[in-house]
Structure 1
Amino acid sequence: MGHLLGRRTAPAARLRELLAAPDPLVAPGAYDALSARLVEQAGFAVAYMSGFGSTASLIGRPDIGLLSGTEMIDNARRIVAAVDIPVIADADTGYGNALNVLRTVQLYEQAGVAGIHLEDQATPKKCGHMGGKEVIPCAEMVGKIRAAVAARRDPAFVLIARTDAVAVEGLDAAIARARAYAAAGADALFVEAPTSEVDIARIANELRGVAHLVFNWAEGGRTPPISLARLAELGFSLVLYPIGTLLAATAAVRALLETIRTDGTPTAALPGLPTFDAFTTMIGLPEVHELEQRFAGE
Structure 2
Amino acid sequence: MATNGSNGTSKPTAVQKLRAMIADKNRVIACPGVYDGYTARIALQEGCDVLYMTGAGTTMSVLGMADMGVATLNDMKTNAEMIANLNPDIPLIADADTGYGGAIMVGRTVTQYMRAGVSGLHIEDQVQTKRCGHLKGKELVDTSVYASRIKAAVMAREAARGDIVIIARTDALQSLGYEGAMERMRAAVKEGADVAFLEGVTSKEMAEQFCKDMAPTPCLYNNVAGGLSPDFTAQEAKGVGYKIIIFPALVMEVVYPAVRKAVREMLDEGKPKSVEKSGYRYSPKELFEVCGLKEAMDFDVAAGGTAYSNGA
Q: C-alpha displacement at 1:272, in angstroms?
A: 4.8
Does residue 29 (structure 1) correspond to residue 33 (structure 2)? The answer is yes
Q: C-alpha displacement at 1:23, in angstroms?
A: 1.8
Q: Match for residue 10 of structure 1?
A: 13
Q: Distance in 2 between matches of 1:26 and 1:221?
A: 18
> Deviations 1:25-51 (Å, cap 9, x if unpaired)?
001101011111111111111000000
> Deviations 1:65-97 (Å, cap 9, x if unpaired)?
001111110010111122341100100000001
Alignment partner for residue 172 of structure 1, among 168, 179, 193? 179
Does residue 78 (structure 1) correspond to residue 86 (structure 2)? The answer is no
Q: C-alpha displacement at 1:168, in angstroms?
A: 1.4
Q: Distance in 1 between matches of 2:44 and 2:173?
A: 33
Is the 8 Å Cα contact of residues 30 and 49 (structure 1) preserved in structure 2? Answer: yes
Where structure 1 has 5 or more consecutive residues not aligned to the other structure, the ranges are: 1-6
Is the 8 Å Cα contact of residues 161 and 178 (structure 1) preserved in structure 2? Answer: yes
Structure 1: which 4+ aligned runs deviate by more than 6 Å?
A: none
Please, what is the CA RMSD of the aligned residues? Answer: 1.8
Specify the code of the residue in structure 1 equivalent to 2:100.
Y
Q: Distance in 1 between matches of 2:213 and 2:102?
A: 29
Q: Match for residue 292 of structure 1?
A: 300
Instruction: Name whichever of 146-155 and 166-175 sits farther off.
Output: 146-155
Q: Match for residue 138 of structure 1?
A: 143
Alignment partner for residue 196 of structure 1, among 196, 200, 203? 203
Local SS of the residue matching 2:136: coil
Q: Match for residue 238 of structure 1?
A: 244
Specify the code of the residue in structure 2 equivalent to 1:43.
G
Alignment partner for residue 129 of structure 1, among 134, 149, 153? 134
Percent sequence identity is 34
Local SS of the residue matching 1:170: helix
Does residue 147 (structure 1) correspond to residue 155 (structure 2)? The answer is no
Q: Match for residue 46 of structure 1?
A: 50
Local SS of the residue matching 2:123: strand
Q: Match for residue 3 of structure 1?
A: none
Q: Distance in 1 between matches of 2:266 and 2:169?
A: 43
Is the 8 Å Cα contact of residues 205 and 234 (structure 1) preserved in structure 2? Answer: no
Is the 8 Å Cα contact of residues 114 and 163 (structure 2) preserved in structure 1? Answer: no
Specify the code of the residue in structure 1 equivalent to 2:236.
R
Q: Distance in 1 between matches of 2:237 and 2:161?
A: 30
- When the two structures are superposed, what TM-score results if normalisation uses the length of structure 2? 0.88
Change (3 A) 1:8 1:34: farther
Q: C-alpha displacement at 1:9, in angstroms?
A: 5.4
Is the 8 Å Cα contact of residues 211 and 218 (structure 2) preserved in structure 1? Answer: no
Specify the code of the residue in structure 1 equivalent to 2:289.
T
Q: Distance in 1 between matches of 2:201 and 2:218?
A: 17
Local SS of the residue matching 1:162: strand
> Deviations 1:220-268 (Å, cap 9, x if unpaired)?
1111212333321222010000011111111211121122123212355
Q: Match for residue 5 of structure 2?
A: none
Does residue 63 (structure 1) correspond to residue 67 (structure 2)? The answer is yes
Is the 8 Å Cα contact of residues 208 and 241 (structure 2) preserved in structure 1? Answer: no
Change (3 A) 1:250 1:20: same
Local SS of the residue matching 1:82: coil
Does residue 264 (structure 1) correspond to residue 270 (structure 2)? The answer is yes
Where structure 2 has 5 or more consecutive residues not aligned to the other structure, the ranges are: 1-9, 307-312
Q: Distance in 1 between matches of 2:305 and 2:31?
A: 43
> Deviations 1:121-168 (Å, cap 9, x if unpaired)?
111111100111011111111111111111013554100000000011
How many correspondences in the alignment? 291
Alignment of 1:215-254 (within 5 A): 215-254=221-260
Q: Distance in 2 between matches of 1:227 and 1:105?
A: 30
Local SS of the residue matching 1:106: helix
- When the two structures are superposed, what TM-score results if normalisation uses the length of structure 1? 0.92
Q: Match for residue 291 of structure 2?
A: 283
Is the 8 Å Cα contact of residues 204 and 240 (structure 2) preserved in structure 1? Answer: no
Instruction: Name whichever of 141-150 and 89-98 sits farther off.
Output: 141-150
Q: Distance in 1 between matches of 2:250 and 2:240?
A: 23
Q: Distance in 2 between matches of 1:273 and 1:177?
A: 51
Specify the code of the residue in structure 2 equivalent to 1:47.
L
